Structure 1
């Protein structure tokens, strides 16, 4: 498969599935079908690497000349995974970026999954051309967050784990989409749980825009209008593809994840230098 400096592969590793596609970085569209395989039971590093290889082989993009970005559900600092959300505890403190680079025989860019979803929405989605502080939240098994200020990503915010005043468990346990399923909540009951979470974020950070992602964002009309906020809140455009698209976008940014304001040509120049 041929590619150019304006295309890259994005791999999104999650607790239940590993997804990937080739992405056109001019507009964030997928140039191939989205390939998805189940996350191996236990999600140990060697098994996850094997699954990622399977996705790349199916996409026919094993050539190391194609830029590759990988999104992972953990705090990522200097290539190490410092937490483990829905994956094996082995990942905590693990040199994950080097592990994938060695195993795949190519350089990659490795980042937190919610962060890259935020990048996708700023570059190509609901937050495109929006100044100020954008806060993306992904509502799923947990609550992922990304903060982007005037095009610069502030990584690893993990604001789903903010503690609820007067309670032992965090907002993620109380208000993630998984809580709606677990407690058999109606949309209005779930939105009543989301209200204090978004109000708390609004109080702490005074954002200019909330973007709500995750698969449930396709039902945004059922719960977002029920929230009473001063801040505009909109559904994400790319939903479950955001991790793939954002990971691919950061693949060309290399070690400069804040480089969201440059053109595709600028990023291509960075990648080839």
Structure 2
């Protein structure tokens, strides 16, 4: 049994637990600490250190982040402090915890976990995992290979920004019943269906705990959909899996059935396996300008 610590940074809480990466099972009681108000990097690092000290595990640590993560840098900050934008978080976390830390987007982590151990287990082809909560997170996986940082919650559907229109927070804000929310979610999912033709949608986030309320009202044209199986543990499990892969702890080398997704992380051809090798990334502005309706960027005339 190989055990790795996974930590999931959320808008309201930061959760951690040791994970058996061969089974996807938590092997200790999960600990949750409220996210410090404002979620400044130094305050979040303090909580990460508390969690690492509490569990006392040696070896690498996997950490999720609610935003774009590229080569260990955090490049957006939709629901956290703007100081995260452009931060070399991998290096800062590794220095603070005294061990290797590997960071990835929170929805990507949930997607990896669901594909390997959850509702996507044994499903080949294209799987699209969506987390409906404060916003809408997304993870696009094809035959087990993750395409990171898709951020499909920021698509525009005519005049509607997807996550501010169809998230679980939008349901509560607009006082929608589950049938009304499912109508919005169906429109969003059908748009994604046209773009990606997934074999399976996995519906995660807070709404997955109430699947019996919306399941019969969600209508798609071609694709299947199922509620997520791992619920609030998915981010923790996916974070631990990612850390295990990057430290070559044998997870990817284990045999799997032919239809079982592998856990390979997609990266640019020729990029170094150690993500902190690239230190030259330019800072990105948090929450960049939305695309116009239809999702096509306009080109400037020469």
Q: Return the TM-score normalized by structure 2.
A: 0.81
8 A contact 2:52–2:97 mirrored in 1? no
SS of match in other structure, 1:109: strand
Task: Write 1 or 2 for the structure with the bigger share of helix.
Answer: 1
Structure 1 gap ranges (5+): none
SS of match in other structure, 2:156: coil
**Distance of 2:179 and 2:135 partners within structure 1:** 19
8 A contact 2:69–2:75 mirrored in 1? yes
Deviation at 1:261, TM superposition (A): 5.6
1:170 equivalent in alignment to 2:161: yes
Q: CA RMSD in A?
A: 2.2
1:17 equivalent in alignment to 2:13: yes
The corresponding residue for 1:44 is 40
SS of match in other structure, 1:223: helix
The corresponding residue for 1:224 is 215
The corresponding residue for 1:196 is 187
8 A contact 2:113–2:237 mirrored in 1? yes
Deviation at 1:150, TM superposition (A): 0.5
Deviations 1:141-195 (A, max 9, x none): 0000000001100000000000111x1x410000000001111110111111101
Distance change in 2, residues 1:225/1:26 (3 Å) = same
Distance change in 2, residues 1:102/1:50 (3 Å) = same
SS of match in other structure, 2:17: strand
Q: How does 1:136-147 map to 2 (within 5 A)?
A: 136-147=129-140
Distance change in 2, residues 1:188/1:178 (3 Å) = same
The runs of at least 4 consecutive aligned structure 1 residues that moved more than 4 Å come to 264-267
Structure 2 gap ranges (5+): 257-261, 264-272, 274-302
Deviation at 1:215, TM superposition (A): 2.6
8 A contact 1:35–1:59 mirrored in 2? no
8 A contact 1:10–1:21 mirrored in 2? yes
Deviation at 1:101, TM superposition (A): 0.7
The corresponding residue for 1:152 is 145
Distance change in 2, residues 1:252/1:261 (3 Å) = closer
The corresponding residue for 2:154 is 161
Q: Which of 216, 238, 248 matches 2:240?
A: 248
What is the total number of aligned residue pairs between the two structures? 258
Q: Which of 13, 23, 48 matches 1:27?
A: 23
SS of match in other structure, 2:157: coil
